[in-house]
Structure 1
Amino acid sequence: MRLDSIKVTIFAVMLGAVTLTSTVRAQEADPLADLVEAWMASPHGDYHSRSFTYWNKDGEVPVECAACHSQPGFIDFLGADGSAPDKVDRPAAINAPIGCASCHNAAAHALESVRFPSGVSVDGLDGSAVCTVCHQGRQSGDAVVAATRSLGEDAVSADLSFLNIHYGVAAAVMHGSQVRGGYQYPNRDYAGRFQHVPSANSCVSCHEPHTTRVETDGCMTCHRGVETIRDIRTRHADFDGDGDTAEGIHSEIAGLHARLYKAIQAYAAEVAGTPIGYASGSFPYFFVDTDADGQISPEEAVFPNRYQNWTPRLLKAAYNYQVAAKDPGGFVHNPAYLLQLLHDSLENLSERVDVDMSALKRP
């Protein structure tokens, strides 16, 4: 073979190797690109979300909010930036969603224990630890106890205001009485940490970590004969008193939640002396129902019209109503705990307003 032919052959082989290497690298890069795309479409990566834009007008996210509403704040909380862990040292950047660096660092990987607003620390959280930091709420039932301790149960007090557990409180609900996320009435037993099957007993075993979507295929493997996860139930008593024990546990919680709202409205009007209403997307959620039509209009859902005729009994029930409202996945996270909180709140209100408890079963 002539020398120039050999050179051409070698070049062709080298070119083929380069092309093959480039193809492999492109293929290897695809999974990462898919993860980034999935993250950007998730709530944690939404640059337009109010969770990350609310403080734009201020130019920074304040210390008390930074851990969960800015990636630099979360890294600061973990101590992954060299600062002391378990606290945020400085305001954080705006428009900085929770991204790759939040969870993919040595401090996040080592995190095993998280302290809840009640002061209780939960250990052994493994892959659920970083999720728990921001999905535990910012209040506990202990705060309700402290606010109402020295007051008459049905006395309107100017010292009271609504206590909001915050948003996305799955971890507080999941751990139940262990962390006292809800207001727990005296002399009643409450469900502790909801222990699911080992393959579905952590945040990341049910939620895809990057999209946060629930992987429902595994649910249907065990819970057969249902169309959606909302149809699942393993407890068969009639908890909401509607006579239907075939509906999913989600419907039982929703039914009891709706009954509690009606009782809250009745108590506010008859005992506290001022009609009340709830607006799910407007802080501080409970407002004066100025026209007593049972609804809160946009004009009524404004801060100056916030409800202020709180009694201890009313505050306890409203707090638990909000706990259930702010964990829409609570029917999976810890259905027994939510049913107990709602049942006991309704039962307590029934001491002062007409509530038929005869058909309601407490888990």
Structure 2
Amino acid sequence: MLGALAAHVLAAPILAAPILAASPATALDKNLTDLIEAWLASPHGDYQSPSFTYWNKDGEVPPACAACHSEPGFIDYLGADGSTPLKVDRPAAINSPIGCASCHTAAAHALDSVPFPSGVTVDGLGSSAVCTVCHQGRQSGDAVTAATQGRDEDAVSSELAFLNVHYGVAAAVMHGAEVRGGYQYPGRRYAGRFAHVPSANTCTACHDAHTTEVTSDGCVACHRGVDDLRAIRTRHADFDGDGKTDAGIHAEIVGLHGMLGRAIQTYAAEVAGTPIGYAKGRFPYFFTDSDGDGRIGDEEAVPANRYASWTPRLLKAAYNYQVVAKDAGAYVHNPAYALQLLYDSLESLSERIDLDMSGLHRP
């Protein structure tokens, strides 16, 4: 089957020059077969993933979603089909994962600048540009500012609703303050793009281009003595105030994130007047905790029970909670930015609830 698929790829119309140098057919077939096997095992090649099947009932992927959830949509976005670049002109085909023709076209190879939801365009992205298109989220802190501006910080408003950053927001976190992916509190300074060492400063320097799996050999060459990337840290303050600094920076982010989740629940119950809960992987994520047990069960995680008692202060904190939740690699992509968003959200909530900030540290 894979051999036939490789032959199909070779025979299919290609929108750019061949990406492999001329070589004996048998070697080329084997190389393509290996690449296709790696791709099929990756999230990008998963034909059963909700990322590519969610719209099957509709028969097409809408333009607003097509760039990242259908290969024809991504080609359309790049303008590789002759259409206007950086825009999707039409609905795209269902059941079409991100494949070879998504990244291996003249338009994809030439892409170097990508606009973010904040309106900021980042230049000089090189090989990371195609990854950045889809891993930047769908919202920015600017949208939160626009929704809450001019409102009483602690007044519930029926005109407010949760703003979901979407998922896979690594590029937004990595570029930090430059693209304002998180809600950035006024008067605070935030970390910009996290510049790693040159050998680990692009997406494919750390992720295999076809499997997307992390390749950690280069990491342990510098961060010696660790056998788990989550154990790495170069900042040694006790950011989450638990008295421990012997674990990696990942543990500090997890600690502050958990603290923010609990603070959001306290504020919602005591100030907004309606208990709230978070359900991982269940859109729209924040629901009314109708039985007050501190968790969201299956019967509560339904659209009709979505949380509706938002205040500006609560919305800002919840938005940042989701930004960090949706980048599981924030501890590598930009740990300082993640910690700053969490700390500032907690500090804001502490103005209205009993929350001891004395043991916490902001990077």
Give TM class, smaller chain: over 0.9
* Structure 2 gaps, min length 5: 1-23
Task: Give the whole-Å Cα distance in 1 for the aligned partners of 2:76 and 2:250.
Answer: 37
User: Where in structure 2 are the equivalents of 1:1-363 lying within 5 Å?
Assistant: 25-363=25-363
Task: Give the whole-Å Cα distance in 2 for the aligned partners of 1:280 and 1:295.
Answer: 11
Q: CA deviation at 1:226?
A: 1.0
Q: What do the CA deviations read for 1:260-303 (whole angstroms, capped 9, x no partner)?
A: 00000000000000000000111100000011000000000000
Task: Give the whole-Å Cα distance in 2 for the aligned partners of 1:95 and 1:241.
Answer: 47
Which residue type is aligned with residue 102 of structure 2? S
Q: Secondary structure of the equivalent of 1:287?
A: strand
Q: Secondary structure of the equivalent of 2:277?
A: strand
The alignment yields a C-alpha RMSD, in angstroms, of 0.9
- Total equivalences in the alignment: 341
Taking structure 1 as the reference length, the TM-score comes to 0.93
Q: CA deviation at 1:27?
A: 3.6
Q: Secondary structure of the equivalent of 1:220?
A: helix
Task: Give the whole-Å Cα distance in 1 for the aligned partners of 2:190 and 2:91.
Answer: 38
Task: Give the whole-Å Cα distance in 2 for the aligned partners of 1:288 and 1:135.
Answer: 29
Q: CA deviation at 1:234?
A: 0.2
* Structure 1 gaps, min length 5: 1-23
The 4+ residue runs of structure 1 with deviation greater than 6 A are none
Which residue type is aligned with residue 329 of structure 1? G
Task: Give the whole-Å Cα distance in 2 for the aligned partners of 1:28 and 1:257.
Answer: 48
Q: Secondary structure of the equivalent of 1:292?
A: coil
Q: CA deviation at 1:28?
A: 3.7
Q: CA deviation at 1:30?
A: 1.3
Task: Give the whole-Å Cα distance in 2 for the aligned partners of 1:225 and 1:242.
Answer: 24
Aligned to 1:3: none
Which residue type is aligned with residue 32 of structure 2? L
Q: Secondary structure of the equivalent of 2:259?
A: helix
Task: Give the whole-Å Cα distance in 2 for the aligned partners of 1:56 and 1:305.
Answer: 26
Q: Secondary structure of the equivalent of 1:211?
A: coil
The percentage of counterpart residues that share the same residue type is: 74
Q: CA deviation at 1:26?
A: 2.6
Which residue type is aligned with residue 196 of structure 1? H
Q: CA deviation at 1:227?
A: 1.6
Taking structure 2 as the reference length, the TM-score comes to 0.93
Task: Give the whole-Å Cα distance in 2 for the aligned partners of 1:308 and 1:27.
Answer: 59
